[in-house]
Amino acid sequence: MRTNGEHALREVSQFVIVLPGRLVGSASAEGRMLLEAMRREYPQYEFEPAAGRPLDEDFRVIPIVGRVGAGEGDDPDRVYMCKPLDPKVIPDLVDTLRAYDSLGTAVN
């Protein structure tokens, strides 16, 4: 039950992907293709590449668990929190990234 303008918690739908160093910079086209493949595989999610330097040579997936109100009826000055993410989602996304990476350009 919602009262006094409270909104139900939303599902996590946005993720930041930290690509391995080999897919950043000169190989950025390969990284873009990988993100496009993820968008096709998981159309319910949005994926954005992380800015800055990679941490190491593995993939990292960071869920966005809060959103500034941008939906219909949302307060644009309020941050809306998301429900806790199922603990299987991030490992599944990382496994998919690794599988696509091992396939190379055959993914597209």
Per residue of the chain (108 residues), give pLDDT as tens. Answer: 344 445 567 889 999 999 888 787 655 688 888 899 999 999 999 999 887 776 778 899 999 987 776 666 767 777 778 888 999 999 999 999 999 888 875 555
**pLDDT confidence of residue 25:** 67
The answer to the question of residue 4 being in a domain is no
CA angle in degrees (0–180, nearest 5) for 80-86-91: 115
Domain membership flag for residue 15: no
Q: 41: domain range?
A: 21-103
pLDDT of residue 27: 54
Q: What is residue 106's predicted lDDT score, i.e. its pLDDT? A: 53
The reply to whether 26 falls in a domain is: yes
Q: Is residue 108 part of a domain?
A: no
Give the total number of structural domains in the chain.
1
Does residue 7 lie within any of the structural domains?
Answer: no
Helices then strands, counting H and E runs in the chain, come out as: 2, 5
Interatomic CA distance for residues 95 and 29, integer angstroms: 21
* Domain contains 3: no
Residue 68 lies in a domain: yes
User: Which structure tokens are listed for 15?
Assistant: 């993720």
